Amino acid sequence: MRILPRQFHLRLSAVLWLLIALFAAMQILVLLYVFYRTSDDWEQRLQWDLAHHIAQELHPHLGPAPDIVRIKEILFRATLHNPKLQPYIIDRRGHIILSLISPRFIREHGIPVDGIEDFLQIKPSRSFPLYHADPQYPEAGRNRIFSAAKIHFAGKPAYLYIVLNSQRAENFLNGVKDYYLYMTSLWSSIIMTLAVGLIGSLLLYFATTRFRHIGTVVEKISAGELSERVPVRGADEIAQLAAGVNKMADEISRNIEQLKEKDRLRRELIANVSHDLSSPASAIISYLELLREDESALSTAKRREYLETAFASAKSLSGLIRDLFELAKIEAREKVPSIEPFPAIDVVTEEVLPRLFPLAKEHRVELRAEYPETLPLAAGDETLIARVLVNLTENAIRYSGAGSQVTISLQEAPDGIAIEVRDTGQGIAEEDLNRIFEPFYRGRSSAGRALPGTGLGLAIVKRIIEAHGQNLTVASKPGAGTSFRFSLPIYQPPSPAAHSRA
C-alpha cells in the first residue's frame, strides 16, 4: 500500500510536515514542563518569606497559653487572600499541632523536618524551587513548594509550615490555567506548523524544480528524443547530476549511431559478398554451359579460352572465399599472432621481393627495398607480417601505374622497427582515404570506375597490425603517391634472472 505520493517534492513535503508536527508536539510538552517548573520557581521566590511575616503577626498569640482562636483567625485571613495556601504549625519532631483543616481530612500527621531546615538555611536566590510534603494529599504523586519559619508555640520550639499551592486549590486553578495554556500552545503550534509547512513546501517545490526538469528530460530520452539535454547551471550536486545525464545521453546517441553504422556496414557487407561471390560463380557456370552445349562447334582455341576464363573466375572466387575466412578468423580472434623474434630484412628480401618481382615487371613498376646493414630482430608473427607486406606491396604495384616506383623501407626508430611501403603512383582520393580499410570498399580510378580486387586486402592488413597491438597509418596525396606505415617492437630476450626463476 502506497503511503507517500509519487512526486519527489510532495514526498519531501510530507516528510517535512511530519517532522514539523513532531517538533510542535515536543515543543508543547517542553513548554508545559518549563511553564510548571518556572511557575513553581517564581512563586516560591516571591513568597519565600511569607511564613516569616505571618509568624511575626502570630507572635503575640503564641505564648505559654496560645490563643488558638486568634491564631486560626490570622491563618484563615491569609488563606482568604490566597486560597492556594494551606498553613500548619508543626513541632520540632514534625507532628502537626494546629491546622485549619479537620484532623480527619489530614492523611499524613507527620512531616520530615529535614526539608524545612534546608529551606531555612538557603538564600532566596539559590536552589529554588524546593519541594516538601503535603499532609492533606500525600498520595498526589509529588511534593509541593512551601514557605517555613521558626516559631515558639506554648513555649516550645515549632515551625510555621505553609504549603504554597495545595492540591485542592491546584486542582481547581490548574483546570482553568491548563485550558488556556493548552489552547494557547495548541493554536500557536498549529499556526506555526501551517506557516512553516507551507513555506517549507514552497521552498521544496522550487528547490526540486531542477530535479523535475532532469526527470522530464530523462523521460524524453527514454522515449527516443536523443537530442534533449539538461541545462547545467552552477557546480553543485544537481549540476553534476545534470552533466551526468547529458553525458549518458551523448553516450547513448553515440552507441546508437555506431549500431546504425554497423548495421549499414553489415548490410553493405552482405550485398558486396553476394555480388562478389555471384559474379565469378556466374562466369564459371556460363562458360561451362557453353563448353557443354557447343563442344562440337567450338575450336580448340575457343575451348581453351573458355576454360582459361572459367579457371580465372574460379581462382578469383577461391581467393575471395579465402580472404573472407581469414578476415572472419582475425575479427573473431581465432587467429592470434604468435609473437616470436624474426629478421624483418630476411622477410622482405627472401619472401616478399622474389614473390612480387614478376608482378612488378608485368606492370612495368620498379620494385625496390631500403634497409640498413644490420637491424635488430623484430617481435611478431613472421607469417602474418609477411602477408601484410605482400598485400601492401601488391596493391601498390597494381594501382600505382606503369613507370612508378614501389619501395619497402625498414629502419630502426624510437618506437621499434619502422616499416613503410610507399609508391610514387596516382595516390588515393581524399574521399576514399578514410574508407579504404572497410571490408569490400574499393576506391575509384581517375576515370571514375571501381578499382578491381575484392576490397578485403587492406581490411585484413589493418586487423593483423591491430592484433599485434600496433597502428597502421596511411598518407597519400593525389598525383604524388601513397605511403603505408607501421611499427613492430624490437625483440627483447629474457634476462638471465628470469631464466633462473623459471
- Reported as a pLDDT band with limits 50, 70 and 90, residue 263 is confident
Is there a domain that residue 374 lies in?
Answer: yes
Query: Pseudo-torsion of CA 174, 179, 182, 184, nearest 10°?
Result: -120
Of 67-81, 112-126, 174-188, 241-255, the one with minimum mean pLDDT is 174-188
CATH number of domain containing 258: 1.10.287.130
Residues sharing a CB contact under 8 Å with residue 454, sequence separation 6 or more, in sequence order: 276, 319, 320, 323, 440
* Per-residue pLDDT at 300: 76
Q: Which of 57-66, 248-257, 262-271, 346-355 has the lowest mean pLDDT?
A: 262-271
pLDDT of residue 4: 44
Amino acid at 254: R
Give percent above pLDDT 70 in the chain.
74
The DSSP code sequence of 340-387 is: EEE-HHHIIIIIIHHHHHHHHHHTT-EEEEE--S--PPEEE-HHHHHH
* Range of 184-193, 242-251, 351-360 with top mean pLDDT: 351-360
In this structure, is residue 406 part of a structural domain?
yes
Q: Do 322 and 357 share a domain, yes or no? A: no
Asked if 113 and 238 sit in the same domain, the reply is: no
Task: Give domain status of residue 493, yes or no.
Answer: no
Are the C-beta atoms of residues 451 and 396 closer than 8 Å to each other? no
Does one domain contain both 16 and 91? yes
**pLDDT at 446 (0 to 100):** 44
Please give the average per-residue pLDDT across 291-315, as a whole number: 75
Q: Which three three-digit cell numbers place residue 300?
A: 580448340
- Distance CA(78)–CA(161), nearest Å, equals 13
pLDDT at res. 290? 73
Q: Helix H segments across 223-351?
A: 237-293, 300-331, 344-346
Of 453, 426, 432, the closest CA to residue 444 belongs to: 432
Domain boundary among 207, 235, 263: 207
Whether the predicted pLDDT of 151 surpasses 70? yes
347-356, Cβ contacts within 8 angstroms, sequence gap of 24 or more: 347/382, 347/385, 347/386, 347/389, 348/389, 348/408, 348/410, 351/386, 351/389, 351/390, 352/386, 352/389, 352/390, 352/393, 352/408, 353/408, 355/390, 356/390, 356/393, 356/394, 356/397
> How many angstroms separate the Cα of 97 from the Cα of each of 30, 158, 421?
40, 9, 129
Residues 275 and 347 in one domain: no
Question: What does the pLDDT read at residue 115?
Answer: 85
User: What count of Cα atoms within 13 Å lies in the side-chain half-sphere of residue 13?
Assistant: 19
Opening angle at CA 430, ends 426 and 434, nearest 5: 115
Largest alpha-carbon pair distance within the chain?
172
pLDDT, mean of residues 379-404: 89
pLDDT band at 70; cut points 50, 70, 90: very high
Across the chain, mean pLDDT equals: 78
Listed ranges 120-124, 287-291, 325-329, 463-467; the one with the highest mean pLDDT: 463-467
199 and 237 housed in the same domain: no
Average of per-residue pLDDT across 245-262: 84
% of the chain residues with pLDDT over 90: 21
Query: Contact 85/78 with Cβ under 8 angstroms?
Result: yes
Structural domain for 170, as ranges: 1-207
> Does 234 lie in the same domain as 187?
no
With respect to residue 502, please indicate whether it lies within any of the assigned structural domains: no
427: domain CATH number is: 3.30.565.10
Mean pLDDT of 171-199: 68
Residue 340, pLDDT score: 92
Residue 145 has pLDDT above 70, yes or no: yes
Alpha carbons 106 and 116: distance in angstroms, whole number: 19
> Which pLDDT tens digit goes with each residue over 208-233?
677 777 778 888 888 878 788 888 88
**Which one is predicted more confidently, 297 or 365?**
365
Choose between 316 and 485: higher pLDDT.
485
Claim to verify: residue 77 and residue 194 sit in the same structural domain: yes
Provide the grid cell at 108: 499524613
Task: Flag the least confident range among 84-88, 326-330, 362-366, 457-461.
Answer: 326-330
Please determine, for residue 3, whether its predicted confidence score (pLDDT) is greater than 80. Answer: no
Helical H segments across 82-208, by residue range: 114-121, 167-207
Confidence of residue 326 (pLDDT cuts 50, 70, 90): low
Q: Residues 67, 193: one domain?
A: yes
The SS3 call for residue 90 is strand
* Segment (H or E) for 499: helix 496-501
CA distance 430 to 444: 11
Measured in whole angstroms, how far is the alpha carbon of residue 317 from the centre of its chain? 55
- In this prediction, residue 496 has a pLDDT band, given cuts at 50, 70 and 90, of low
Please determine, for residue 112, whether its predicted confidence score (pLDDT) is greater than 60.
yes
When mean pLDDT is compared across 121-130, 323-332, 410-419, the lowest value belongs to 323-332
Q: What is the pLDDT at residue 47?
A: 85
Q: Say which amino acid occupies 7.
A: Q
Three-class DSSP category at 333:
coil
CA-only gyration radius of the chain, Å:
55
Q: In terms of domains, do 9 and 132 share one?
A: yes
Top-confidence residue, 274 or 478: 478
Position 329 scores a pLDDT of: 65
In a domain, 305, yes or no: yes
* Residues 12 and 158 placed together within one structural domain of the fold: yes
* Residue, of 193 and 167, whose pLDDT is higher: 193
Neighbours of 401 (CB within 10 A): 15
- Domain count within the chain: 3
Question: pLDDT band at residue 398, thresholds of 50, 70 and 90?
Answer: confident
Answer whether residue 8 shows pLDDT above 80: no
